[in-house]
Amino acid sequence: MDAVPGDGSWLLLFVALPLVGLFATAALPSRRVEAIRTVGWVVPAAAVVVAGGLYARFNLAEAGRQFVVSFPFLRFSYPIVDPQAGTMGFQPVSAPFSFGIDGLSLPLVLMAALVTLAAALAARTEHRRVKTFFLFFFLLAVGISGVFLADNLIVFFIFFELTLVALYFLTAIYGGFGREKAATAFLVMNGLGSLLLFLGFVWIFRLTGTWEMGEIAVRLPLSDVPPGERWALFWLLVVALGVKLPLVPLHPWMLKVHREAPPAVVMLHSGVLLKIGAYGFVRFVLGFFPDLFPKAATALAAWGLLNLLYGAFSALVQNELRLVFAYASLSHMGIVLFGLAALNAAGLMGAVFQMVSHGLISALFFLLLGMIVERTKTSRLDELGGLYRSAPELSGLFVFAALASLGLPALSGFVAEFQAFYGLFLSPARDIALVGLLGLALSAAYNLRAATRTTFGAPRPEWGAMADLRPLEAVPAILLAAAILVIGIYPNVLALPLEATVADVLGRVGG
């Protein structure tokens, strides 16, 4: 894909805003709690406005990167030896700080900005070491803002690592009783995934001589690399990104983080950070190996089916709401693989829609769960029930999130799942899609089970005086619910920016 010239100031502003928030928070004294919280939501709100500006200025007809920004960053040399001549020289290497946005990254940037704002508003209930919390919150936002816009493997990896560092400390400091074990499991597994990813990037550089994603997408498929080496690199990236997605059986760390991290942090983890793995599948695995991906498509669809069914069956038997949503996330990431494995326009559109839709729905779930836990001090299904009597608005939004998650028509979940499954039914892996329909039935079962046991049933006396949705709580909940509804009613809001990029990707694959 060729880069398209454009005004890069909006892109730079989007990347810079979390840094502004980070430095502003660092400059404020710890005792200025309200000022810190205000910075915590004002800066993400400004980022949403900037993301909207990028959307408004985006050229729908262009498949390449737009608003491109590039300036010198890393310059170094490494030794090379010519064994035939017996000489040694030095090969100069440059890795510019380059950013750009295309139809794939734009929907994810919009979703990430909205979820970050909702999480910042949800974090206003955090009372422990508030300044430290928002410092790491903004560090996480810095990583998120850059990872979907990076046009260079080194730049991508730097922002990717920032998200790992920030999430580790947010979990280890502010999580629940098992926070240290959860943070350690997260660090070990994601550290291993990062190591594999970095090895893959270095391997790609050795084969292509560049860190630029656009150049790699052109050079690597045309290189004379032996097939065995190309397959080894392909599966190395699949496993590395599979840790982040995550894929079964690389997922246990994710369950621990969902269970122990504070709800505002899990909103970002489940809503945005898991999508980095899915984004990497499209950008790196499919983008760099368009000739190999079709040969592995059935295997990847089968792996997606494993995620879909294992996550759905597991969610159905959980008594802890956090784990219900964690396994639901695992299941829904299987649908992303379904869409990618379809290798057609409907499937690829469905995969990206699923990334965005699940990001919004899971963020809404954990936002509401945080409110419930704050009021009841529990998230166990056998200890909840009858909340609709004292908190009808909160209960109504919870049911809305469950209906969106199970794929009710006119909501974003339906659009995403329909396209992903339709695309797979049109592919050679249609039998896998047929079996996958069981996962949709199970999704309805575990979502309705969680919603009805939480909100309906016999009311408990201890919840009789429970407060309903407060005005400051209603703002992020309504923002997320509105986005879910808009995408469900008018899917073109995402489909139009995606069309040119999807056509370009499939044209290179031969789809």
Q: Which of 57, 13, 20 is nearest to 149 (CA)?
A: 13
* Listed residue (359, 458, 404) closest to 115, CA to CA: 359
Closest residue by Cα to residue 415 from 462, 479, 352, 365: 352
Q: pTM value?
A: 0.94
DSSP-based three-state secondary structure for 380:
strand
**What's the half-sphere exposure (Cβ side, CA atoms, 13 Å) at 387?**
32
Classify residue 458 by its DSSP letter. S
pLDDT tens for the 511 residues of the chain, in order? 444 445 678 899 999 999 999 999 999 999 999 999 999 999 999 999 999 999 999 998 888 889 988 887 766 666 666 666 666 666 666 678 889 999 999 999 999 999 999 999 999 888 889 999 999 999 999 999 999 999 999 999 999 999 999 999 999 999 888 899 999 999 999 999 999 999 999 999 989 988 999 999 999 988 888 999 999 999 999 999 999 999 999 999 999 999 999 999 999 999 999 999 999 999 999 999 999 999 999 999 999 999 999 999 999 999 999 999 999 999 999 999 999 999 999 999 999 999 999 999 999 999 999 999 988 888 899 888 888 888 899 999 999 999 999 999 999 999 999 999 999 999 999 999 999 999 999 999 999 999 999 988 777 777 667 888 998 899 999 999 999 999 999 999 999 999 999 999 999 885 4
What are the Cα distances from residue 378, in Å, to 127, 301, 321, 352, 503?
19, 37, 9, 34, 48
| Partners of 38 in beta bridges | none
| Residue in 111, 65, 4, 86 with CA at minimum distance from that of residue 480 | 111
3 state SS for 32-94: CHHHHHHHHHHHHHHHHHHHHHHHHHCCCCCCCCEEEEEEEEEEEEEEEEECCCCEEEEEEEE
For residue 409, report the phi and psi dihedrals to the nearest 5 degrees. Answer: -55, 150
Task: Give the closest residue to 106 by CA, choosing from 152, 149, 42, 159.
Answer: 149
Helices (H) and strands (E) in the chain, counts: 21, 2
**pLDDT at res. 92:** 66
- Token pair listed for 121: 């508003």
Scanning the structure block, which residue is given the tokens 């369950």? 255
Q: 397: which DSSP letter? A: H
DSSP summary character for residue 5: -
CA-based torsion, 10, 12, 13, 15: positive or negative: positive
Model pLDDT, residue 86: 63
The vertex-122 CA angle with 117 and 126, nearest 5°, equals: 125
Quote the pLDDT of residue 3: 46
